[in-house]
Amino acid sequence: MSNLNFNEIGSTIRVNLGYDITSSTPTLVLQPEIGLETKEITDGVTIPLTTVVTELETFSSGEYIEYKTIDGDLDYAGRWRKKAKLTFSASDIQQSNFEKFRVLA
C-alpha cells in the first residue's frame, strides 16, 4: 500500500486475506502508532467480488476487504497499522496480521 495523506477522503484501503471470506462480516481495524484510539470500522467495509491487480499485490475476488476513507479517519500524520477482523460466527472471529502504512502531513 502506498502512503496516504492526512485527512484524505475517498482513498481506498484494502487488506488481503488470501482465502475466501465471503461468508464473514468484515471490520477494518486502523491504529495510529502513538496511543491514539484504535478505530474499528464496519460501515462501508466490503468484500468485493472482483479481482484487483496493483503494482505490489493481487487482491483476488472474495479474499480481501476494501474501505474508502471518510472525514476523520486519517486524523494523525505518521505511522499507522491496519488489519482485518472477520466475524464468521460468535465463536469464529479471525484476524489478519497488522500491516504498516504512513499518513503524510
* 26-43 pLDDT per residue, tens: 999 999 988 778 999 999
Q: Report the domain count for the chain.
A: 1
Alpha-carbon torsion (59, 60, 63, 67), positive or negative: positive
Is residue 92 one of the residues assigned to a domain?
A: no
pLDDT for res 62: 98
Is residue 102 one of the residues assigned to a domain?
A: no
pLDDT for res 1: 60
Is residue 99 one of the residues assigned to a domain?
A: no
pLDDT for res 5: 94
Spell out the residues 6+ positions from residue 92 whose beta carbon is closer than 8 angstroms to its own.
none
Residue whose C-alpha cell reads 460468535 in the numeric block: 90
Closest CA to 87 of 32, 42, 30, 38: 42
Residue ranges of the chain with per-residue pLDDT less than 50:
none
pLDDT for res 2: 74
Domain that holds residue 56: 4-87
